[in-house]
Structure 1
Amino acid sequence: MTTRPNPLLRFLPFLAWFPMTRESLRADLLAGITVSLILVPQSMAYAQLAGLPVVYGLYAGFLPVIVASLWGSLRQLHTGPTAMLSLMSAAALIPYAATGSETFIALSLMLALMVGILRLALGLFRLGVVVNFLSHPVIIGFTNAAALIIGLSQLNKLVNVPMPRSDWFLGDLWVVLQQLGSTHWPTLGFGLGAFALILVLQKRLPRLPGVLIAIVVTTLASYAIDFERTAKAGVDAIEDPGVRAQVMQLDQATAELQRHNETAARLQSELARAEDDGAPLDTLLDLKGDIARSQAAAYALGDRMMTLRIQLHRVDFTQQSGADGAPRFAVAGEMPKSEPLGTGHWRFGGIAGGEVTFTGGGEVVGAIPAGVPGFQVPHVDWALVLPLLPAALVMALLGFMEATSISKAISAKTGQRIDTNRELVGQGLANIVGSFFHAYVVSGSFSRSAVAAREGARTGLFAIVSALGVLAVMLFLTPLLYHLPQAVLAAVIMLAVFGLVRVAPLFHAWKVNRPDAVIGIATFVATVAMAPALANGILLGVGLTVALYLFRNMRPRAEILGRHPDGVLGGIDTHNLPAVSEHYVALRFDGSLNFVNVAYFEDVVLQALERFPHAKAVLVIGSGINDLDVSGEEKLRALVEQLRARNVNLYFSSLKRQVLAAFERSGLSSVIPGDHIFKTKEVALKTLDACYGSGRIGPAVPA
C-alpha cells in the first residue's frame, strides 16, 4: 500500500524536515554554526565585490538564506552572496551609477528583485530545462574567466592603489599594474599574511574556520598598530599650490559628477513618462539625446577624476605644524618607488565637502551600521528595466546553474532527489524577499554547501542557524570589525575564486570534441576581453553553442553504403568499400527530416545520383530519422516528383513508427507507395537486388 504525498509539501516543503531527532538537531546546529563562521566574512567580502558597503553583504546573508532554505529543494544547499553574481551585479550597474552611491544601492536591490522574479517564473512554469542551453564547455570557459576577473579585480586592494571602474576591465587592470611601484607594503603584508594563515589552517587544521581566524588575527593586529592612521584638514592645509589645485579640481569634478547623475536620473524618469504618455517621436529623440550627452559627460568626468586620484596617490606628504598649531601638509615629492611609507609619510585619501582626508596607513572596513535591515519596497526605475533585463536573465540562469551543479554533487552522496523547479522557486523567493530588506542578488554557494554537507547537515535548519549567526553579528559585533583590513577581504575573495579555475576539463573536451572545446576557449577569451560585462561573454558562448548545434543538425551524418567482405554495411568513403550496386544507391541519413536539414537531405540524394549516374533507385535507410515536419513533407513530395522525372525511384527502410504515422497523416503514401517502404534494410536490399541486381558490383547479399 503506497502512502499518498502530503499536498501541503508542495507549498510548504520545509514540513518534510519533521519530525526531527536529537541527532539531526545536533548535526544541523553544528553545521549551521560552522557555516556561519564562513558566511560572515564571505558576505562582507562579496558585498564589496558587488560595489556595495559591507553591511549589504550581511543583509544578503540573513533573510534570503532563511527563505531559500524553507522553500528550496536540497536540504544541504546554502544560499547567500556569491563571488560570481556579486561581480556580475556590479558590472551590470556601473554604467548607470557610481559604485557605493545611493543610486547604485537602489539599482542593486532592483536587480535582485528582477532576478528573483525571473527565477520564480521559471520555477512556476517548470522551465528549469532552459539551463541546458549552457553547455559544459561554455560553463567551464565562463567560470574560469570569471574567476580570474574576480580575483584580479581585488589586486588593487591587495597593494592599496586606485583602480578605475570603466567598461573595459583589462584597461583598468593595466592601470593597476602600472602603479605596482607605489605598493603600500604594510597593506600587502596583511594580505599575504592572511593568505598564508588561511592556507596553513586549511591544510593542517581543516576543521577550524581558517577564514574567520585570519580575520580575527588581522583585525586585532590592525587595531594594535593603528593600521588605518588617518588625519583630516582643509584644502588650504596643502602647501604646494599645484597639488592643492589638483585636489580642488577633484572636489569640483565630484560635485559635477553628482549633478550629472541627478540630471541623468531625472531625464530617464521624464523619458519613461513621455513614452507612457505617447509623446511625439521628436520629443523622445531629444530626451534620449540629452541622456546620452549627460552620460558621456559623466564618463569623461569619471576618467578625469580617476586620473587625478592616481596622480595624487603618488604624492608623498609630510605633516607639519603651522603657526597656529593647525596641521600643515607639505609635499616631499613623489612617493618612493621601493620604500614603504614611514610614520612621517601621508598620502591623499579623498576629499568631501572641502575637507581632505590623509592616510598614513592602509584601508580598513570602517564603521558598519548595526541593526537588522528594515522593510522597504525596492525603487524600480522603469527606464532601466529593459536595459538590465539581459544581465538579469543571465544572472538568473547562471545562479540557478551554479545551485543545480552544487545540488547534484551533494545529492550524489546523500541520495536525496532534487526538484530543480522547486529550487528555482526557492531561489526566486529568496531574491524577491531579500530585495525588500536591503539584500542584493543571492544564489547557491558551492563552498558553504560543501561545508554543510561535510559537517553532516540533515535539513535546511542548518542554514537558518547560520543566518541567525549573521543576525548576531549585525546586532552586537559590527563595531569589532572596524579595523578589518580591506586587503584581508581581498585575500578571502581571491582564495575563494582562484580555486574555481580548472584547465583540465578544457583539455579533456579538446580530446573528445574539438569544436566544443573551441567554443569553451572562445567563451573564456570573450568573457575576459569584454569584462566587466560578463553576461556578454556567456551569451556569446551560448550563441556559438546554438550555432554549432544547428550546423550539426543542418548537415547530419549521411553516407553512401557498401559492404564489407563479411557482408556488413559500411560507408564507401569511410571504409573504402565498393558500393552495393551501380544501378541503385543505398545511403544512410542520420537526421530528422525537418526545416533545418531537409534541403541537405535533397542535396545528399542528388549528389549520390551524380556519383552513380546509372542508378535507377535510391534506398534511404532511415533508422536515424526521428521526425518529419511540414517542410520535410513538402520537400519529400518535390524530390519524389523530381526523381520520377529522371526515371528514378525513392525507397525507404527501417523507418520509426512516428515517422510512418507522419507519412500516413500527410498523404505521402500517395507518392511513396507502401511497396517502396521496407520494414528492415535486409529486406529492402534483397528486393532491390532482385529488381536492379544485374549491375551488382559488391558481394552477394547473404540469404
Structure 2
Amino acid sequence: MIDLKACPLWLYRLFPFLRWLPNVTPQAFKADTIAAFTGALIVLPQAVAFATIAGLPPEYGLYAAMVPAIVAALWGSSWHLVSGPTTAISIVVFASISPLAEPGSPQFIGLVLTLTLLAGLIQLAMGLARLGMLVNFISHSVIIGFTAGAAILIAASQIKNFFGLDMPRGAHFHEVLIQFGSHIPDIQPWVLAVGVVTLVSGVLAKRYLQKLPYMIVAMVVGGVVAAILNAQFGSDATNIRTVGALVASFPPLSLPDFSLTAIKQTLFPATIIAILALTEAVAIARSVATKSDQRIDSNQEFVGQGLSNIAGSFFSGYAASGSFNRSGVNYASGARTPLAAAMSAVFLLLIVLLVAPLAAYLPVPSMAAILFIVAWSLIDFHHIGEIIKRHKRERIVLALTFIGTLVDLEKGIFLGILVSLMFYLYRTSQPSIRELVPSHVNRDNPRRKFVPADIDTPGCPQLTMLRVEGSIFFGAVEHVQKHFRNVDESDPQKKHLLLTSRAIGFIDLAGAELLAKEAARRRKLGGGLYLVGVQPDLCEMLRRSGQVDTIGEEQIFRRKGDAIQAIYPRLDSEICRTCRVRVFRECHIALPDGTPREAAG
C-alpha cells in the first residue's frame, strides 16, 4: 500500500490529485456520488444548448462536458469547480469561427478543435510560467459582484423554460426582461405549474429533508407532476417540454486541423478565449471557495484548465471553462472532493449510454426551477450588505461588476478588475507619509522611540522626520516629492530631512532617482537627506541605480540613535541657542557646535 502522504513534492506537482485522494472516505464518496449524479442531470439540457449556440452538433456539448471535466478535476486545485461548455465561451467560439466556415460543417468543427487545442496550450503555458498570481488582482468585491450577476443571468436564462415562453436564446439580460414583459399573456399555465411545484418541493426539501438531496427530490416531484398532467390532458395541451432524445455514444477521437492556415486563423481568438476562460474559471473557483473555506492554487488551476482543453480537442470537445451552473450545483449538492466533478462526467456518459430514453422525459421547467434555487443560493447577501454599508470604494467595484456582468459576463469581470486595479493603483500611488517626533517618555533610552507628531508633541525646528508607509515607485514619485518639498517650503528653517525607511516596501529606479535628487536639493539648501532603517531591497536598488554616491553612504544609518547623533552637529547652533523645544537629549547637553548648554544660556 503506497502512503500518499509521504509522496515527494515533485510527484504532487505532476499528479496533484494525490493530495486530496486520501480524503475520499466512504462518507465523502457517498456525498460526491450524489453531487455527481445531480450535476450530470443538470448538464444534460445545458450541454446541448451550449453546443447549439457554438454552431456545433448537439452531441459536441455533451462531449465537452465529459473528458475536459475529468481532466480539470484531477489536475486543478478547486474542490468544487466543474469544467465544461459555458454560454459565454460558446458565444465567443461561434463569433470567432463562423466567419471562417459554415457552422456545423466538418471544416467548422476542425477549426473549433484547433481553436480549443491552442487555447489549452496557452493556458498550460501560463500555468507552467506561474502566472496564476495575476488572478490575485481579482478583489473579493469583484468575485461577489460577479457571482451575484452570474446568478441573475442563470435565473434569467431559465425564465422562458419556467414559464413556457417562446423567447430568443442568448438575449441580453435587459432584452430578456423586455421579452418576458411582452409575453406575459402567453405564459403556459401547466408549464408554470410544473415549475412552481418543483421550486416549492425543492425549497421545502432543502429546509426540512436535509438528509435527502433536495435537487433530486425536486426533480422527481416535478417529473411525476408533469407525467400526470400529460396523461390527463395530453402533451399537446400542456405544452410541457422535456429534455428530448440524446445521442448515445462515447466521445469519439478527433483530430484538430494542424494546417498553418488554420493555426493562423485561430491563434488570436484562441488567446482571447484562453484568457476569458481562465478568468471565468478562477473567478468561479474563488467564489465557491469563499463558501467552502478553501485555498485556490491559481497556477494549478491554469494547468488543469489547459490540460482539460488539450484533452478535449482530441475527444470531440470544444473550448471549456469553469461552469457556474454545474459548480454551483456541485457545491450545493454537498460535494466533498474533486472526485464529484470527475464522476459527474462518468455519470453523464452512463446516462447518455444507458438511460437516454428516461432522461428524455425530464421536464424542462423542472430544470429551470432547480437552477432558480441554485442561483438564489449563489448570491452572498451578507457580504453584499457589509460592502454597501461600510466600504465606499468597494461599493463602486461591486456595483460596476454586478451591472457589467448583467450586460456581458466576461466584460463584467474585466470591468470589475479594471476598476479595482484603478483604486489599488490610486492607493499605492499615495503612500501614507507621517511626521514623527522623538518621544518625551524615556528620553535617555538609546533606542530613540519616535511617535506621530501632533499639536501637543512639537518637533525640531530644523529637522523633520518622516515615515513613508508604502512603495516609492514611478506612480508614487509625484506624491512623495510633494510631501518632501512641503517640509521646507512651509518652514525654510527645516533644511534637514530624516526618512525612516523600514516601512518602505518597494522602490524602483524612479524612486531611487527621487531620493538622489532630494538629497542634492537639500545640500543646496544647506541641509541634507538622511535615511535610517534601510531594508536590503531598498539598499540594493540604490546601489544598482548608482544613487548611493549621490545620497552619500554617510547619510544612511541602521539605527535612529546613530542618525540623530550624526545629524545634530550639522544643525544651526544659533537657531538651537534660542530653541525651547529641545526634543533630543543632545539638545540638553550642548549646542551643535559643541558649546555646553549651561554656557550657551
TM-score, normalization by structure 2:
0.80
Q: How does 1:508-523 map to 2 (within 5 A)?
A: 508-509=386-387, 513-523=391-401
Cα offsets for 1:211-246 (capped at 9, x unmatched)? 233333433443443389678xxxxxxxxxxxxxxx
Cα offsets for 1:180-236 (capped at 9, x unmatched)? 2321111111111111111222222223233233333433443443389678xxxxx
Preserved CA contact (<8 Å) 1:564 1:577: no
Measure the CA separation in 2 of the matches of 1:512 and 1:697: 45
Give the match for residue 66 of structure 1: 70
Measure the CA separation in 1 of the matches of 2:193 and 2:382: 32
28 and 112 in structure 1: CA distance in 2 versus 1, 3 angstrom threshold = farther
Q: State the secondary structure of the residue aligned to 1:560.
A: strand
Measure the CA separation in 2 of the matches of 1:527 and 1:148: 9
Structure 1 gaps of 5+ residues are: 232-342, 344-359
Q: How does 1:457-468 map to 2 (within 5 A)?
A: 464-468=342-346
Q: State the secondary structure of the residue aligned to 1:614.
A: coil
CA drift at 1:41: 1.9
- 1:398 maps to 2:277: no
Measure the CA separation in 2 of the matches of 1:115 and 1:473: 29
2:188 counterpart letter in structure 1: H
Measure the CA separation in 2 of the matches of 1:176 and 1:425: 41
Measure the CA separation in 1 of the matches of 2:147 and 2:112: 22
Measure the CA separation in 2 of the matches of 1:17 and 1:138: 29
Cα offsets for 1:539-585 (capped at 9, x unmatched)? 1111122222222222211133346765764444xx44554122222
Q: How does 1:383-462 map to 2 (within 5 A)?
A: 383=265, 385-387=267-269, 389-403=271-285, 406=288, 420-440=298-318, 441-443=320-322, 445-449=327-331, 451=333, 453-454=335-336
170 and 114 in structure 1: CA distance in 2 versus 1, 3 angstrom threshold = farther
1:629 counterpart letter in structure 2: D
Cα offsets for 1:582-623 (capped at 9, x unmatched)? 222222222333322223322211111111122221222222
- 1:597 maps to 2:476: yes
Measure the CA separation in 1 of the matches of 2:9 and 2:69: 25
Q: How does 1:129-528 map to 2 (within 5 A)?
A: 129-165=133-169, 168-226=172-230, 343=237, 361-378=239-256, 383=265, 385-387=267-269, 389-403=271-285, 406=288, 420-440=298-318, 441-443=320-322, 445-449=327-331, 451=333, 453-454=335-336, 464-509=342-387, 513-528=391-406
Cα offsets for 1:446-488 (capped at 9, x unmatched)? 542564655xx6xx66655443322221112111222332222
381 and 115 in structure 1: CA distance in 2 versus 1, 3 angstrom threshold = closer
Q: State the secondary structure of the residue aligned to 2:86.
A: helix
Give the match for residue 39 of structure 2: 39
Measure the CA separation in 2 of the matches of 1:594 and 1:33: 52
Which of 513, 538, 555 lines up with 1:634 in the alignment? 513
422 and 594 in structure 1: CA distance in 2 versus 1, 3 angstrom threshold = closer
Percent sequence identity over matched residues? 27
- 1:670 maps to 2:549: yes
Measure the CA separation in 1 of the matches of 2:109 and 2:412: 25
Measure the CA separation in 1 of the matches of 2:352 and 2:168: 31
193 and 90 in structure 1: CA distance in 2 versus 1, 3 angstrom threshold = farther
Measure the CA separation in 2 of the matches of 1:167 and 1:543: 25
Measure the CA separation in 1 of the matches of 2:580 and 2:152: 61
Preserved CA contact (<8 Å) 1:364 1:485: yes
Measure the CA separation in 1 of the matches of 2:433 and 2:226: 70
Q: State the secondary structure of the residue aligned to 2:69.
A: helix
Measure the CA separation in 2 of the matches of 1:464 and 1:538: 27
Preserved CA contact (<8 Å) 1:627 1:658: yes
Measure the CA separation in 1 of the matches of 2:20 and 2:496: 67
Which of 488, 497, 501 lines up with 1:609 in the alignment? 488
2:422 counterpart letter in structure 1: A
Higher relative contact order (CA 8 A, sep 6+): 1
377 and 695 in structure 1: CA distance in 2 versus 1, 3 angstrom threshold = farther
Preserved CA contact (<8 Å) 1:50 1:88: no
106 and 221 in structure 1: CA distance in 2 versus 1, 3 angstrom threshold = farther
Which of 418, 428, 435 lines up with 1:553 in the alignment? 428
Preserved CA contact (<8 Å) 1:374 1:438: yes
Cα offsets for 1:316-370 (capped at 9, x unmatched)? xxxxxxxxxxxxxxxxxxxxxxxxxxx5xxxxxxxxxxxxxxxx62333222222
Cα offsets for 1:494-532 (capped at 9, x unmatched)? 22122111133234345664323322222222222xx2x
Preserved CA contact (<8 Å) 2:437 2:458: yes
Structure 2 gaps of 5+ residues are: 444-448, 587-601
Preserved CA contact (<8 Å) 1:109 1:378: yes
Q: For this pair of structures, how many residues does the alignment match?
A: 554
1:50 counterpart letter in structure 2: F
Give the match for residue 418 of structure 2: 543
Name whichever of 622-631 and 218-227 sits farther off. Answer: 218-227
Give the match for residue 599 of structure 2: none
Measure the CA separation in 1 of the matches of 2:458 and 2:76: 59
2:305 counterpart letter in structure 1: Q
Q: State the secondary structure of the residue aligned to 1:555.
A: coil
